[in-house]
Amino acid sequence: MQLAGKKILIMGMARSGVAAARFAVDAGAQVTVTDLQKTAPRIDGARHQYGSHDPDDFTQADLVVVSPGIPSAIPLLEDVRRAGVQVISEVGFAAEIIQARGIPIIAVTGTNGKSSVTWFISQLLEAAGHTVFVGGNLGTALSELALSKERPDYAVVEVSSYQLELPGMLAPIAAAVLNLTPDHLARHGTMEVYGQTKSKIFQNMTVGGYAAIPHTKSSNPNGWIKHGTTHAAPIWLDRFPGMKREGQTVTLAGTPDDGEIKLDGVQLFGEHNLDNAAAAALLCVCSGVPREAIQPHVLSALPHRLETVHISEKGITWINDSKATNVDAALVGIRSMTTPTIVLLGGASKDGSDYDRLNEALALHTQTVLCFGDAGQRIASAITAPRVEVVPHLADAVLMAAQYAKKDDVVLLSPACASFDEFNNFEERGESFATLAREAKP
């Protein structure tokens, strides 16, 4: 991608937009940045259009780079595409640059588990002796790698459905769509469109790559996740060619290095994390790492995903699962508990959320459910646990949990909601929970 002298418009100046703009300026492009917020970050060397979008900036650009929070179907972007201007996401923009440097990309998406699998891949690669960039939708914007001029052995990238609306020339050497459950339907409209969007992760892959999807109906309802017309080898996350997991044994077939990988020694909560570890191992092998170099025992939990943040003197374990921002993710966390548990649910509700579905999992080990935030009352109305209470805020829920908790109990924050009613993101919510847990006096 030759940017010098080109007119580049960056739309949306959150974390990824800032990184893309800084790279484009550094590459010698004529950069305009636009955001509806008048107080958006300033970028040295760029022209700023803040407080409103000027359509002329879009139609006169050679390339428009869109931050993931902006839907690709808004009329302004539709008009720009009709005018013949290329429009891509920040991930697509950065990927083309990184791929041109010869850095292979391993990409992961799916409704649930994508952050954990991305994190696990990075740990397995590092344990195998490789240098790794990890980011995308998880943590660091991919454009930061483009800006840094570094040459890691691999870039491991979590990709959201928002980013995949406009994937550009993103072409991973190995990629997976882990699963599909109702989420983000306010933006995508239907599950079918949601699945089609996720499946775009494969569309530019080439011969020699591996594209992994699930076969089971629970993970791939109505077959909405598809390999499509990718040139990569189609493989499966739960059958051959691809992998199967039985207990602690993962068997690979139809990959570059077929055989078994043992998950003995993995210290993670829940069967789902064994599935995540298996998927990570599969993608590493499909990216050229020998099976014998895979060391699953090194894996540790991703922050905010079933992360133990405090064990009190009374023996109460506080677990931060703030990344569980929808019902299906919360179900995974709740089912992972094996001792008496107090569950904290709440935050900003999402369209299509069915909180009744939590009851079967809550019946296993949960005696108390504390509901908080904007969705608190709605959740409480759907829950049938022995004790269900509603409080205004997360801090109130933590205080009440400390009062109810007994020796050897678990207090689990697995909110099944977005965080935006009270916090800027799920990370901030999880950090707040951890601090409150350590300060609680049971």
CA–CA dist 307, 247 (Å, integer): 22
For residue 351, what pLDDT is reported? Answer: 83
Q: What is the CATH number of the domain that holds 220?
A: 3.40.1190.10
pLDDT in tens, 295-331: 999 999 888 989 999 999 999 999 999 999 999 999 9
Please, are residues 237 and 279 in contact by the beta-carbon 8 Å criterion? yes
Q: Produce one character per residue of 270-283: b if its CB has 16 or more CB atoms within 10 Å, e if not.
A: bebbbbbbbbbbbb
131 and 278 assigned to the same domain: yes
Q: What is the pTM of this model?
A: 0.85
Q: Is residue 44 part of a domain?
A: yes
Give the residue from 84, 116, 145 where a domain finishes. Answer: 84
Residues pairing with 158 in the sheet: 108, 136
pLDDT band at 269 (very low <50, low <70, confident <90, very high): confident
CA–CA dist 13, 369 (Å, integer): 39
Checking if the pLDDT of 146 tops 80, the result is yes
Q: Is residue 359 part of a domain?
A: yes
Q: How many CA atoms lie within 13 A of 158 on its CB side?
A: 22
Sheet holding 307-311, edge to edge: 307-311, 317-320, 410-413, 341-346, 366-372, 387-390
358 and 383 assigned to the same domain: yes
24 and 117 assigned to the same domain: no
Checking if the pLDDT of 389 tops 80, the result is yes
The SS3 of residue 33 is strand
pLDDT in tens, 248-266: 999 999 999 999 999 999 9
What count of residues does the chain have? 442
For residue 382, what pLDDT is reported? Answer: 97
Q: Determine the average pLDDT of the residues in 76-83.
A: 95
339 and 427 assigned to the same domain: yes
Q: Which residue has the tokens 């090194």?
A: 298
Alpha helices by DSSP H, 213-358: 271-286, 327-335
First to last CA, the chain: 58
48 and 166 assigned to the same domain: no
Q: Produce one character per residue of 392-411: b if its CB has 16 or more CB atoms within 10 Å, e if not.
A: eebbbbbbbbbeebeeebbb
Share of the chain above pLDDT 70, in %: 100
Work out the number of other CB atoms within 10 angstroms of the CB of residue 260: 10
pLDDT band at 384 (very low <50, low <70, confident <90, very high): very high
What total of structural domains would you count in the chain? 3
Q: State phi, psi for 172 to the nearest 5 degrees.
A: -65, 160
183 and 271 assigned to the same domain: yes
113 and 192 assigned to the same domain: yes
pLDDT band at 442 (very low <50, low <70, confident <90, very high): low
Sheet holding 132-136, edge to edge: 132-136, 154-158, 105-109, 174-177, 210-213, 233-236, 242-246, 249-253, 259-262
Cα dist from 178 to 115, 157, 288, 419, whole Å: 11, 14, 20, 23
CA–CA dist 283, 108 (Å, integer): 9
Q: Is residue 2 part of a domain?
A: no
pLDDT in tens, 162-183: 999 999 999 999 999 999 998 8
253 and 314 assigned to the same domain: no
For residue 62, what pLDDT is reported? Answer: 97
Q: Determine the average pLDDT of the residues in 381-408.
A: 96
Checking if the pLDDT of 63 tops 70, the result is yes
The chain-wide mean pLDDT, for the chain, equals 96
The SS3 of residue 88 is strand
293 and 321 assigned to the same domain: no
Checking if the pLDDT of 415 tops 70, the result is yes
Q: What is the CATH number of the domain that holds 58?
A: 3.40.50.720
CA–CA dist 51, 2 (Å, integer): 30
DSSP code, position 296: G
Q: Determine the average pLDDT of the residues in 274-303.
A: 96
Please, are residues 174 and 283 in contact by the beta-carbon 8 Å criterion? yes
Question: Which tokens in the block code for residue 387?
Answer: 């004790």
CA–CA dist 341, 220 (Å, integer): 30
Please, are residues 233 and 259 in contact by the beta-carbon 8 Å criterion? no
Q: Is residue 66 part of a domain?
A: yes
Checking if the pLDDT of 138 tops 90, the result is no
Q: What is the CATH number of the domain that holds 412?
A: 3.90.190.20
Q: Is residue 1 part of a domain?
A: no
Q: Determine the average pLDDT of the residues in 358-376.
A: 96
Please, are residues 429 and 415 in contact by the beta-carbon 8 Å criterion? yes
Tell me the residue range of the domain where 71 lies: 7-84
